[in-house]
Amino acid sequence: MARINDNYLKLKAGYLFPEIGRRVREFTDANPSAKVIRLGIGDVTLPLVPAVIKAFHAAVDDLAKGETFHGYGPEQGYSWLIDTIIDKAYKPLGVSLKTSEMFISDGSKCDCSNILDIFDNANVVAIGDPVYPVYNDTNVMVGRTGEADEKGYYENIVYLPCTAENDFSPAFPKEKVDIIYLCSPNNPTGTVTTREQLKGWVDFARKNDAIIFFDAAYEAFITESDIPRSIYEIDGAKECAIEFRSFSKTAGFTGVRCGLTVVPENLLATTAKGEKVALNKLWNRRQSTKFNGVSYPVQKAAQAVYSDEGWPQVKEVIDYYMDNARIIREGLTAAGIQCFGGVNAPYIWLKTPEGMSSWDFFDKLLTECHVVGTPGSGFGPSGEGYFRLSAFGDKGNVVKAVDRIKQKWGK
Amino acid sequence: MARINDNYLKLKAGYLFPEIGRRVREFTDANPSAKVIRLGIGDVTLPLVPAVIKAFHAAVDDLAKGETFHGYGPEQGYSWLIDTIIDKAYKPLGVSLKTSEMFISDGSKCDCSNILDIFDNANVVAIGDPVYPVYNDTNVMVGRTGEADEKGYYENIVYLPCTAENDFSPAFPKEKVDIIYLCSPNNPTGTVTTREQLKGWVDFARKNDAIIFFDAAYEAFITESDIPRSIYEIDGAKECAIEFRSFSKTAGFTGVRCGLTVVPENLLATTAKGEKVALNKLWNRRQSTKFNGVSYPVQKAAQAVYSDEGWPQVKEVIDYYMDNARIIREGLTAAGIQCFGGVNAPYIWLKTPEGMSSWDFFDKLLTECHVVGTPGSGFGPSGEGYFRLSAFGDKGNVVKAVDRIKQKWGK
């Protein structure tokens, strides 16, 4: 009989968000009049901005006429979109990229999963803890790990704990690692990697022949001018890093689907025999063979994000969310709850009051304040005792949620 | 240093369509006045139909307003789209499917590549020859094969030659195989698998504990009523087959991107220890972890394909292409060229005149008739001496191309 990929059975069955959904349903079924405010899952709520809608419609109209119809596009993405992103989002950072170094995709989740295709399973990977679960689970699925221990740590993955004790900035791994996942601004902690810290990682990677997967999905939320938005702002990063970006949070594209990956041409890795190979060529082959490009109207809509008309509109939405983040951060701090993040990221990572476990706090917050958040322990063992609130909600609801928390925990 | 996936280096560098592009450019540069007609690559040319455009615009407008905005959708696709497809495209065939058995994707190329994720590399796969190159190359990339021999056959893949001698219907493999790729209507040969033949494959798969990957991307082009459009029309197929479908050719979505995969709940495979596992659950886990669903407006546009207004419009486009297929088939036959396919598929597979090689015929057709097609040998060794013409062009050009061929080879 055909054999399955047994590695899938190593994955733990229960995923975080279904469990949250179950508990919320149970509560609302029992308390139908409760006005529950959801600050849990990291999904945007505001509509697409007018300039994006306009470009989207125009592109749909292109598909309605023979002269402007577009069939298969380049698997790598249209050069007009790539060049716009390079020009508007990278050049201002002092980063120059070639068109052939950027690949448009249908989202960062796909890219940071699929990138593993071009690497051998013998590579040792290091990931943060807590972490975006996709980094961990996709490595389990390709067979790079052993089984999970009782804490949830998989054999052969090097975990880098990020807690208040180390200011969410982990020490360099002591083991030899080949691939390092970094995410800044960080999901779930909302904290950022400073320029000096990032330089430390680039230097470490180059010295130790490792490759960094840099997830910059939240770079648009950075408000402090000295925080790097791209790893390529650091000298030498083009020789050691792949960068992922997304339109999902930047421009509300969670339901529209567009992201991108940068694989610099000078980035090399080796064959079993030790010959050096350009990863750009391998990723290009992967995408050409297993992917057919992003929807044409979606690419046109994405281009409009960076237009003269579009960007100020997009920025206004980002500012709205970041004002929510401020309200949450300041409100919780006033209630005596210790908060992290929320300055350069749409997530607030809080230390649960009274030493509660993440899930105990979840239940208390749900049943007593009617507010839904995300238990930190769902992102990894080092998230225990922490809790994530998202700033993507409606401002009125955010204010109400914070008031309820203050009433409950405020001194 | 980080190690690459060495299997990528087994892939042959030159891909078919870039080489075609190179030769066409060389010719047109030297002959700028030649009016070259392209019947090569299988891309559609007619615009999206009005009902699809209307639904697409309406969905974009949904994203412009807070009340109708859609963020993350289900990774599996919206149930309103799945249920519409089941109702309109499967029920009329006598096939009943559950919502949870269908997964919407951004295209068949991705699905028939990614499906390998959930299978162990120890499985032996059988593929047709000639074949859609993606089936072959993705198996090489995951490491299921050895190196290619001088003909282009990779070690550990079982190839099933499909030629005029066996009426393009290959014999069952003699070796034990675990996964069998079938494509009907077939790309590139344009031929179909009859009901009796398909029943033979289903029975063979069940008897031999194999799984069939059934690629039905061209089912909408079937004109003969007794040809199966879905493998699930055959009793027992739900216990042995995964089916892939696409909106690309059916509704001109090559640039819009939407496809689907059916994984029946009763379809099982085994672990290394011999325990049976439902593939539906594994695929669901794969898609939930590595994919984020298809663009909301694209799913709305796809739903309109099957609306009362949309389907007759879509059917009219299909009929237009199939009339092109008839013109090519009849014209070539009249010119004494032996043709296959083109009755239930938008591809005509012809035997090159005078025993020419596929590439010699390509060059002759290009330089003497100014017509571009696809050399059969590009699809596999058994394609040598054959040639593919696509019916997706403009009718006026198709007529001109056929006239030129008749003038050249007609008796």
Residue-wise pLDDT for B290-332, tens only, equals: 999 999 999 999 999 999 999 999 999 999 999 999 999 999 9
> What pLDDT, in 10s, does the model give residues A151-191?
999 999 999 999 999 999 999 999 999 999 999 999 999 99
Domain, as residue range, for B63: 52-305
Rounded mean pLDDT, B142-162 = 96
Q: Which residues of A touch B277 (CB under 8 A)?
A: 4, 9
Residue B51 and residue B313 in contact, taking contact as beta carbons nearer than 8 Å: yes
Residue A191 per-residue DSSP state:
-
Shortest distance between the Cα of B226 and any Cα of chain A, in A, equals 31
Angle of CA points A262, A264, A267, to nearest 5°: 125
Measure the CA–CA gap between A63 and A298, rounded to whole angstroms: 12
> Quick one: average pLDDT of B191-213?
98
The 3-state DSSP class for residue A45 equals coil
Residues A86 and A195 in one domain: yes
pLDDT at A410 (0 to 100): 78
A224 and A137 share one domain: yes
Looking up residue A383, the CATH number of its domain turns out to be 3.90.1150.10
Closest approach of chain B CAs to the CA of A281, in angstroms?
Answer: 10
Picking from B72, B119, B297, the nearest residue to A4 by CB comes out as: B119
Of A71, A109, A295, the CB nearest to B43: A71
Nearest to B68 by CA among B300, B270, B236, B292: B300
Beta-bridge partners for B349: B340, B388
Q: Which of residues 240-259 of B touch A (CB under 8 A)?
A: 252, 254-257
Q: Do A113 and B290 touch (CB under 8 A)?
A: yes
Q: How far apart are CA A7 and CA A24, in angstroms?
A: 31
Report if residue B391 sits inside a domain.
Answer: yes
Please give the Cα distance from B215 to A177 (Å, whole number). 41
Residue B192: inside a domain, yes or no?
A: yes
Mean pLDDT of A379-402: 96
Look at residues B274, B305, B336 and tell me which one is the last residue of a structural domain.
Answer: B305
User: Given this model, what pLDDT does residue B42 score?
Assistant: 83
- Residue B277: beta bridge partners? B269
Position A405 confidence tier, pLDDT thresholds 50, 70, 90: very high
Confidence of residue B11 (pLDDT cuts 50, 70, 90): very high
Name which of B5, B15, B119 is nearest A117 (Cβ-Cβ).
B5
Query: How far apart are the CA of A125 and the nearest CA of chain B, in angstroms?
Result: 10
In a domain, residue A3? The reply is no
Q: Return the SS3 of B182.
A: strand
Distance between CA B225 and CA B231 in Å, rounded? Answer: 15
Sort residue A236 into left (φ over 0), alpha (ψ -120 to 50) or beta: left
Pick from B316, B287, B277: which is nearest to B82 by CA?
B287
pLDDT at B12: 82
Nearest C-alpha neighbor of B64 from the set A57, A254, A47: A47
CATH at A218: 3.40.640.10
Residues B280 and B163 in one domain: yes
A255/B296 Cβ within 8 A: yes
Alpha carbon of B355: minimum distance to chain A alpha carbons (Å): 32
Looking at the complex, report in whole angstroms how far the Cα of residue B276 sits from the nearest Cα belonging to chain A. 9
The C-alpha atoms of residue A230 and residue A184 are separated, in whole angstroms, by 9
**Same domain flag for A260 and A381:** no
Query: Does residue A1 belong to any structural domain of this protein?
Result: no
Residues in chain B: 411
Testing the interface with A: which of B56, B289, B395 to mutate, by most A Cβ within 10 A?
B289
Summarize the confidence of residues A120-126 as an average pLDDT.
Answer: 97
* B379 and B396 belong to one structural domain: yes
Together in a domain, B117 and B204: yes
Contact A254 B178 (CB under 8 A): no
A and B: number of Cβ contacts within 8 A: 252
Question: What does the alpha-carbon distance between residue B236 and residue B145 come to, in Å, rounded to a whole number?
Answer: 30
Whether the pLDDT of residue A63 is over 80: the answer is yes
Judged by DSSP in three states, A180 sits in strand
Q: How many Å lie between the alpha carbon of A182 and the closest alpha carbon of chain B?
A: 16
In a domain, B315, yes or no: yes
Domain-embedded: residue B1: no
**Residues B241 and B373 both lie in one domain:** no
Indicate yes or no: CB of A290 within 8 angstroms of CB of B109. Answer: yes
Domain-ending residue, one of B305, B330, B365: B305
Same domain, A277 and A375: no
Q: Are A363 and A113 in contact (CB under 8 A)?
A: no
Put simply, the answer to whether B9 touches A289 (Cβ < 8 Å) is no
Does the distance separating the beta carbons of B2 and A119 come in below 8 Å? yes
B50 touches chain A (CB under 8 A): yes
Do B132 and B183 meet the contact criterion of CB atoms below 8 Å apart? yes
Amino acid B56 reads: F
Rg (CA), chain B: 22
Convert the pLDDT of each residue in A73-111 to its tens digit: 999 999 999 999 999 999 999 999 999 999 999 999 999
CA atoms lying within 13 Å on the CB side of residue A139: 25
pLDDT of residue B13: 65
Q: pLDDT per residue over A196-232, tens digit each?
A: 999 999 999 999 999 999 999 999 999 999 999 999 9
Predicted complex ipTM: 0.97
Residues B21 and B170 in one domain: no
What phi and psi, each to the nearest 5 degrees, are found at residue A163? -135, 175
Q: Which of A280, A305, A330 is the last residue of a domain?
A: A305
Contact yes or no for A60 and B65 at CB 8 A: no
Nearest C-alpha of chain B: how many angstroms from A41?
10
CB contact under 8 A, A123 and B2: yes
Q: For A71, name the nearest residue in chain B, comparing CA atoms only.
A: B255
Residues of B in contact with A47 (CB under 8 A): 63-66, 69
Handedness of CA A336, A339, A344, A346 (dihedral sign): negative
In a domain, B40, yes or no: yes
Pick the residue of A8, A11, A392 with the most B CBs within 10 A to test the interface with B by mutation: A8
> Is the torsion defined by CA of B332, B334, B340, B342 positive or negative?
positive
Torsion over CA of B327, B329, B331 and B333, rounded to 10 degrees? -160
A-contacting residues in B 101-140 (Cβ below 8 Å): 106-107, 109-110, 113-114, 117-120, 122-123, 134, 137-138
pLDDT for the residue numbered A14: 63
User: In angstroms, what CA-CA distances link A206 with A212, A267, A268?
Assistant: 10, 11, 11
DSSP of A138-171, one letter per residue?
HHHHTT-S--B-TTSPBTTEEEEE--GGGTT-PP
Domain-embedded: residue A2: no
Query: Do residues A93 and A66 share a domain?
Result: yes
Same domain, A200 and A320: no
Residues A136 and A183 in one domain: yes
Inform me whether the pLDDT recorded for A30 exceeds 90.
yes
On whether any CB of chain A is under 8 Å from the CB of B4, the answer is: yes
Count of domains for chain B:
2
Q: Is the pLDDT of residue A302 over 80?
A: yes
